[in-house]
Structure 1
Amino acid sequence: MDVFDQGRFTVVADPAGAVFSQWQARAFPGAGRFNDPGTLGWTELRTPDPQGALAFYPAVFGWTVSDSAHFTHWGVDGADFGGMKQQGDEERARTPAHWLPYFTVSDTERTAAGALSAGGQPLAPPAHIPGGPWVATLRDPQGARFGIHTP
């Protein structure tokens, strides 16, 4: 679909049903900032089929993949921008496959408290990932899930 002279977009789903959008720039190039406070800083695929995702996304977008014992990272030319976690049975029963955006914030605890006071709901409280960022996941008053992180 065209968005006036700004660009084109489409909404699609991967083979496991995780929905995402694609943007083809014209007059509006898209997001010009990444990982600055208040901007998108990470995105995570939650899927019941990680092997299918590993076949799909690199083939479609040319993403690079790096794995650790517990986590898969997505990248472009080796620069990581997101990751993937397999959904367990309990999560799959509550939530279909999905992409979870994380927004960069300067203080995860303060931002989570502000989101809760504005009507949000906690999904996972602020926590420190050893050797990594502070993270929290929330739901906005309309039900959309998102994460916040402080690198």
Structure 2
Amino acid sequence: MSEGHGKFVWYELLTTDTAQAGKFYGTVIGWEAKDASIPGIPYTLLSIGDDSAAGLMEMPDALRSTGAKPVWLGYVGVDDVDKTASLAAEKGATVHKAPEDIPNVGRFAVLADPQGALFALFKSRPGEPSGPPQLRSPGHGGWHELMAADAQAAFTFYSTLFGWTKAEAIDMGPMGTYQIFAHNGTAIGGMMACPPSQAPTGWTYYFNVRDIQDTLNRIKSASGTVQMGPQEVPGGSWIIQGIDPQGGRFAVVAPPAG
């Protein structure tokens, strides 16, 4: 595996109103929305300064017809999209979008893990950047959290695909164990067992912000809903989990106060 295999490299929101979503996240996170459509595929880039950080797409009709809520999709960089998608399928994943080229960008596929959590694979074309400059950069993805009915089975699945390793395991008391996982020795996220009856399962992506109280005010002013937080987490960072006006679940993380 190359150094970039298993690294989260992109985030994409499938939503019912890209214009309004762009305004909301622009207010909350500071992204600037820019049209990046290609023939037949409307697309909006969300940028922070000179760096592209995420994208917006209209939710496909097939997904919308099921009553699905808008959802953030995380893309994991891999050395070979086709081989990784095939391995994932062998391990029980569902391939929702077979490997396909994005002209002048790269190759991707969209899957659901054996417990139904959506994720995507991506391989950039030679010469294209492979992801954000730093894990903690403002406006970029800062943490990746998976709630699964069977967290150990989920870790085994993703470790097989991406080479992720276990880092610190945090005892959360009656809630269970929060297992931090690492990519090439750097902690990038956590996994935890959570029965579907208690909380939404699947991936939650935390985007970096500079100040948690300021971000809280911005969420409220932009008509977002705060589900949890602000809450301090081990290490001193602060988080908020919320719902955007179209119903998409999102989260933010800020450095320790002071």
Give the TM-score of the pair, scaled to structure 2: 0.54
CA contact (8 A) 2:224 2:243 kept: yes
Task: Note the 1:53-64 alignment, pairs <5 A.
Answer: 53-64=154-165
Partners of 1:78 and 1:57 in 2: CA distance: 15
Unaligned runs of 5+ in 1: none
CA contact (8 A) 1:134 1:149 kept: yes
Shift of 1:14: 0.8
1:76 to 183, 187, 191: 183
**What's the counterpart of residue 85 of structure 1?**
192
Number of matched residues?
A: 148
Work out the percentage of aligned pairs sharing the same amino acid. 36
Unaligned runs of 5+ in 2: 1-99, 172-176
**What's the counterpart of residue 231 of structure 2?**
127
AA matched with 1:68? I
Partners of 1:32 and 1:68 in 2: CA distance: 27
Task: Note the 1:89-128 alignment, pairs <5 A.
Answer: 89-92=196-199, 95=200, 97-128=201-232
Determine if the alignment matches structure 1 residue 38 to structure 2 residue 139.
yes
Aligned residues: CA RMSD: 1.6
CA contact (8 A) 1:47 1:84 kept: yes
Partners of 2:236 and 2:197 in 1: CA distance: 26
**What's the counterpart of residue 13 of structure 1?**
112
* Segments of 4+ moved more than 6 angstroms: none
**C-alpha deviations, 1:91-133, integer Å up to 9, x for none?**
35xx3x3110001111112112202211211110201124331
Question: Are the structure 2 counterparts of residues 43 and 123 from structure 1 closer, same or farther at C-alpha, using a change threshold of 3 Å?
Answer: same
Question: Are the structure 2 counterparts of residues 20 and 104 from structure 1 closer, same or farther at C-alpha, using a change threshold of 3 Å?
Answer: same
Partners of 1:28 and 1:44 in 2: CA distance: 27
Partners of 1:89 and 1:15 in 2: CA distance: 14
Partners of 2:101 and 2:149 in 1: CA distance: 32
Which piece of structure 1 moves more, 35-44 or 124-133? 124-133
Shift of 1:30: 3.8
**For 2:198, what is the secondary structure of its paired residue?**
helix
Partners of 1:60 and 1:89 in 2: CA distance: 24
AA matched with 1:77? N
Partners of 1:123 and 1:58 in 2: CA distance: 30
Partners of 1:74 and 1:31 in 2: CA distance: 19
**For 1:20, what is the secondary structure of its paired residue?**
strand
Which piece of structure 1 moves more, 24-33 or 1-10? 24-33
